[in-house]
Structure 1
């Protein structure tokens, strides 16, 4: 078929320009909201364990799930065998005794009452925190998030010298498991370490599981999470995992297994994976019948949302939001003789903001690299159906068959039907060079607002049929060939989707510092929340009054006035969602310009009621601000829930000034994918992650702020936001960080032209100032650390950083060194390790930093137990230009 015939036949009469009806995406069933930090009441007065309710099983996708009769099983309480559960005393021996008692009884339930059960590092050369070679007919049941398995990493042991090797870790490892379950308990590694390529810290790994169920387990930090390798007849249902350094849930080489209703958020690789090892299983039908359904993946910060392999694998009814690589990937291994992906279905999924690695500001992307699509396949494919999906805002193509410059597809019978493919920076469907497909069906899709063609053919497609497609741009040949009918396309002016982050995504890279400022409020209309029914008594739900006050302001903006009082905000399902995110909120100022939330000082307090909703969220818009207010979450959960008290997301020219925040389940203040934000005079206390988190933002100044007693850091800068992008021109100056319980003082995990200057940092568990590479994508490129005072850094019981100012695991493309770092004029006092450390080896890994230019000059060190500057020879070899005093 010639190019002229292809394009001429496709050019039907265009539909008049208008806007499509709202596109809601697939309906997703949600499990009931869990309770936090309180026992669930699983143990009855008779000493038995309650069964899971029928409502747990009676949900779509769980038909055929075996029901475990917990109530009929004998129970062994770990406390009765000496478990302390105090987070300080090792409980390994108590768990061994409990397990022995159950084995003697032929199986049953190991019950974990509320507590923190400590598993300390094993003696070298061991690397299993708790290992069982064979475990059968044992069920581990706790009381939800109040029953925590705590795995403690090794800590720094040596003072200024190269330490002995530290082990990578498997938390619980079972070599073989049959008829085993984990239910209603939590797993946590400490301290937090979000580096992707460093020492492992697996929550649970089972090498050959059969009939294993993982049910309602919460994982708060791991690397990776729950791994059921070569699983047979296994179920992972209703679990929650946050803050993982690599994969969240992994079913590599599984058969007849299901992952459903799981949540994965802020992870360093794949959300839910079924990698197929062709060397082990050359016949794909051996690994068949795997389903991923009704799951949620948010912020896959280095990898993919979900991967599929084998035969008869279905990925359906999932929500995948903000992924570095593709949202869904056909992961047949890249061995010399790969197996074939057989009869796969990708159906009724909602995929938002995928393939962000393809952004032009990603310095680590090689030319022609990346997965090149929201949904991507490689190698051999036999019968693939992609239907009913809503794919929105892909940074590259929506669907790509074969990855250009990597691995094409040889396939047959591929059907693309009934999908919404909206606002991609590329084609709706891309048939890549070298790909050969026999039997391609493209029917009833809406491909709207893409920058590329509805279908772009650079390979070979035969047996093509098409019909009923509504598109912005017609198909085109890009050096490829088509045999069949590719005429079933109508062009239209319909607008299918408006990306709320389109302006931030399209901004060019910044080239010079631009000082962010506050906007004057003179002359703006004022809406006092009291006049709209707010009581400010700390008990009444004042959220409707805040919404009414906002609605009363004109399109030109205005002030929402919050007088003295305690204003309780309660999430309402009708008003707590913003489009294309599964992260809900209490109150939002969404896509409004020049709106200002203003109090009278710390006596104007906003009291939040849910740790699983953002507090006040400002999304999009220009010139918005928050000032003279206090935000609190009275009951912070023990585990991180990653929700901020105050969030600015996608904002241009905003400010947060004279605000006090306390007790978030995540970061207290989140500046997310913004440009031009002033943060001044903010006091942040007792956050469960960072006091102030600046993610994927540019032209941001954090100045004159105070961070006290936050968990994982006072101030944090990274590429991670609603859109992943290079942080540029971020200035952190004149702040005070006073105490960090588990993390570092000021952390920089990404950025170009980042300045950390004139700050005072004291009493931190880890380094006072910590520059690190969370992943090689959007790497830490240029940072100046100047004129800071660091006192008593690296003094926590969980310290893993051997320097008050640390540069760790900063990497770019493999084999290159591009970063530019300056550490000058700082004062370091009373540190048990070195003054400045660049590495390198530590208890959390051995990855060396790759640096073009490092300057360490003019610093003053007093009471430093290690060397002023610690750089081991192997690390020095990775620094092209090193200047020291």
Structure 2
């Protein structure tokens, strides 16, 4: 990359996202709680034997921390959780799980559940461990909202190194609390080295939120009920999603799209990701604005590698490698059905830009056979 190219990219960020590159690339820093108190859940009666309900014991450890917070430690073991009640984290709490610690949802018939809830809290950290839903043992066929981690109306939250799988709905949800003028936005949220796999509805969903960083995470093998995408930014009429960075992530093997973006999203950067082998689009963006897709590998997706539709505007697609997309369709059939992207139609299986979009700049991409 030349100095001129890099300067152009940084200028684009300043113009279209109104954020500095440094701000976008930096994870949110967790402020250490004023208290150094550490409580082991075993000291509150948790067994971690894969049979007994440990929900109350884990919650008791959290509730025993002083108002200034502290750390709850979960040692190795399989801790059964009543997801109808959930593990409720509050402000200034660090939930520290050993690598071999697992929170497993007890089978239920609920349309909606949460293994961990972070609601209306500030300065929360979840570290390590595994969260396993109960999709294989779910006792009904209705609903699609069983969450591994639900972060709603909270601020300064980080999730690091946690593996989330088997949820009846989404691995992770980030959204706002309430509606209308009094809505409390989720803000300053970071996920780093998180894996969301084999969840039923989405790997991760974003409702109204702002300043979210998703770094070096994996979202894979989502299947069960639509949309079934790796990451879905779907605020629609609820509110706005703004200032989101997805960097260094892998979205693969999802029954839907790798990344799916809808109305009311502004200021999204997708950078240095691998997006491949999804049954839907690699990246689908509809009716959003201020999008930068840069330096990604997008390959072997069932539909177009990148599709910009609706009234999507102010987009830069730079430095990506796109290859062998639209695997669900013969190239000739697709060519007859859709018009090619502006600037030429030889790569329409990899990149589709609808005529309804505006201010789209495409440069420096590689289209491999």
TM range (shorter): 0.7 to 0.9
Structure 2 matches for 1:380-779, cutoff 5 A? 511-512=18-19, 514=23, 515-519=26-30, 521=32, 524-571=36-83, 576=85, 586-589=86-89, 592-601=90-99, 603-609=100-106, 610=108, 612-636=112-136, 641-673=144-176, 674-711=186-223, 712-719=228-235, 724-741=238-255, 743-749=256-262, 750-773=264-287
Q: Choose the corresponding residue for 2:323, options 829, 837, 843.
A: 829
> Could you tell me how far apart the structure 1 residues matched to 2:162 and 2:94 are?
13
Partner of 1:858: 364
| Structure 1 residue 804, shift from structure 2 partner | 1.1
| Structure 1 residue 648, shift from structure 2 partner | 1.0
Unaligned runs of 5+ in 1: 1-509, 577-585, 774-779, 795-800, 812-818, 840-847, 864-885
**SS of the counterpart of 2:167?**
coil
| Structure 1 residue 532, shift from structure 2 partner | 0.6
> Could you tell me how far apart the structure 2 residues matched to 1:687 and 1:793 are?
19
Partner of 2:309: 808
**SS of the counterpart of 1:693?**
strand
> Could you tell me how far apart the structure 1 residues matched to 2:308 and 2:248 are?
21
| Structure 1 residue 737, shift from structure 2 partner | 1.4
**Structure 2-normalised TM-score?**
0.78
Q: Do the aligned partners of 2:113 and 2:145 also contact (CA within 8 Å) in 1?
A: no
Partner of 1:787: 295
> Could you tell me how far apart the structure 2 residues matched to 1:625 and 1:855 are?
38
> Could you tell me how far apart the structure 2 residues matched to 1:738 and 1:567 are?
29
| Structure 1 residue 642, shift from structure 2 partner | 1.9
> Could you tell me how far apart the structure 1 residues matched to 2:134 and 2:267 are?
37
> Could you tell me how far apart the structure 2 residues matched to 1:511 and 1:597 are?
34
> Could you tell me how far apart the structure 2 residues matched to 1:570 and 1:643 are?
12
Moved over 6 A (4+): none
| Structure 1 residue 511, shift from structure 2 partner | 4.9
> Could you tell me how far apart the structure 2 residues matched to 1:561 and 1:635 are?
27
> Could you tell me how far apart the structure 1 residues matched to 2:317 and 2:45 are?
53
RMSD: 2.1
Shift in alpha-carbon separation, 1:538–1:521, aligned structure 2, 3 A: farther
> Could you tell me how far apart the structure 2 residues matched to 1:757 and 1:639 are?
36
> Could you tell me how far apart the structure 2 residues matched to 1:560 and 1:588 are?
12
| Structure 1 residue 809, shift from structure 2 partner | 2.5
> Could you tell me how far apart the structure 1 residues matched to 2:221 and 2:142 are?
16
> Could you tell me how far apart the structure 1 residues matched to 2:144 and 2:165 are?
15
Per residue, is there more helix in 1 or in 2? 2
Deviations along 1:476-525, one digit per CA (max 9) or x if unpaired, are xxxxxxxxxxxxxxxxxxxxxxxxxxxxxxxxxx9535444242658621
Q: Do the aligned partners of 1:730 and 1:753 also contact (CA within 8 Å) in 2?
A: yes
Shift in alpha-carbon separation, 1:650–1:516, aligned structure 2, 3 A: farther
Q: Do the aligned partners of 2:194 and 2:216 also contact (CA within 8 Å) in 1?
A: yes
Partner of 2:4: none
**Structure 1-normalised TM-score?**
0.33
> Could you tell me how far apart the structure 2 residues matched to 1:635 and 1:772 are?
30
